[in-house]
């Protein structure tokens, strides 16, 4: 937990001093913790914070606050799109599996009817 807070404070230091004073370091910390709260493991949270720390210095200091917000939004949208793609793939897989199951059951039903008709024909007298 201390490592996570250290990474967050290192990220906050990269933000403009005016934003740090205007918004407050603790509010910025809360904002960042809220944004990384969607990740379940500490390793993922640290990875995202380090990625943000590598990207922020590439922007001019006055733009870094907006860049950080945009970074988290783009990251969330990208991960949501990936999750949506996985869900769609699972739905398609389920639909295909259900279709094959229905086809097999239909073939089995017709085969059973044909077997019963054959038995009935072979056991007729007369």
Structure confidence by residue, pLDDT tens digits, 44-82: 999 999 999 999 999 998 898 899 999 999 999 999 999
DSSP state at residue 44:
H
* Residue 126 pLDDT > 70: no
Please state, rounded to an integer, the average pLDDT across all residues of the chain: 91
CB-count exposure of residue 32 (10 Å: 0-12, 13-18, 19+): buried
Say how far apart CA 117 and CA 28 lie, in whole Å. Answer: 77
Say how far apart CA 20 and CA 59 lie, in whole Å. Answer: 17
CB atoms within 10 A of CB 28: 20
Residues whose CB falls within 8 Å of the CB of residue 48, separated by 6 or more in sequence, listed in order: 36, 39, 75
């Amino acid at each position: 937990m201390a490592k996570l807070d250290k990474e967050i404070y290192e990220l906050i230091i990269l933000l403009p001093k005016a934003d740090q004073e205007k918004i407050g370091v603790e509010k910025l910390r809360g904002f960042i913790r809220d944004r990384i709260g969607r990740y379940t493991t500490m390793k993922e949270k640290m990875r995202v914070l380090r990625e943000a720390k590598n990207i922020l210095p590439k922007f001019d200091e006055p733009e870094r606050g907006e860049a950080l917000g945009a970074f988290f939004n783009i990251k969330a949208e990208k991960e949501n799109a990936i999750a949506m793609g996985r869900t769609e793939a699972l739905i398609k897989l389920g639909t295909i599996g259900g279709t094959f199951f229905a086809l097999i059951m239909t073939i089995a039903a017709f085969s059973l009817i044909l077997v019963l008709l054959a038995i009935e024909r072979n056991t007729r007298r007369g």
